[in-house]
């Protein structure tokens, strides 16, 4: 399995939001931006609109687990930011994985 690096800095998130391409669905928003690092970098955001701390943490866990399944198919050299929506805590990781794969395929990030 290929590894990924976490995006932690606010300025890195802001750069991806400003310059990246976004893909929206009811359960997940994905931002994709090419980087020069040659690695996959992952950021996950959950707002307070999603719910209390328990729901926000579940959203992050579900998104992380879905990405773990998709990660081997992702080409290196991209920054990916996933934003949880209100429906995310009620969805299963398999549903999120399908949505995530569709977004990444539209972005041209998945390996052929």
Mean pLDDT within 73-100: 95
Q: Read off the CATH number of the domain in which 65 is found.
A: 3.30.230.10
Tell me whether residue 112 is in a domain: no
In a domain, 85, yes or no: yes
Domain count, the chain: 1
Do 84 and 24 form a contact (C-beta atoms < 8 A)?
no
Is 3's pLDDT higher than 90? no
Query: Is the Cβ–Cβ distance between 42 and 53 less than 8 Å?
Result: no
What is the SS3 assignment for 33? strand
Residue 1 predicted with pLDDT over 50: no
Residue 67, pLDDT above cutoff 60: yes
Over residues 42-58, the pLDDT tens digits come to: 999 999 999 999 999 99
Q: Report if residue 18 sits inside a domain.
A: yes
pLDDT the model gives residue 2: 53
Helical (H) or strand (E) element with 1: none
Q: What is the average pLDDT score of the chain?
A: 94
In-domain check, residue 81: yes
- The whole-angstrom distance between residue 102's C-alpha and the CA centroid of its chain comes to 12
In this structure, is residue 62 part of a structural domain?
yes
Note whether residue 55 is domain-resident. Answer: yes
What is the domain extent for residue 77? 4-107
């Amino acid at each position: 399995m290929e590894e990924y690096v976490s995006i932690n800095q606010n300025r890195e998130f802001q750069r991806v939001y400003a310059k990246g391409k976004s893909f929206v669905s009811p359960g997940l928003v994905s931002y994709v931006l090419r980087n020069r690092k040659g690695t996959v970098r992952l950021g996950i955001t959950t707002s307070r609109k999603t719910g209390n701390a328990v729901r926000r943490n579940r959203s992050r866990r579900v998104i992380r687990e879905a990405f773990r399944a998709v990660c081997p198919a992702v080409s290196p050299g991209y920054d990916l930011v996933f934003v949880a929506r209100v429906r995310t805590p009620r969805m299963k990781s398999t549903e999120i994985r399908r949505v995530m794969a569709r977004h990444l395929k539209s972005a041209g990030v998945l390996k052929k």
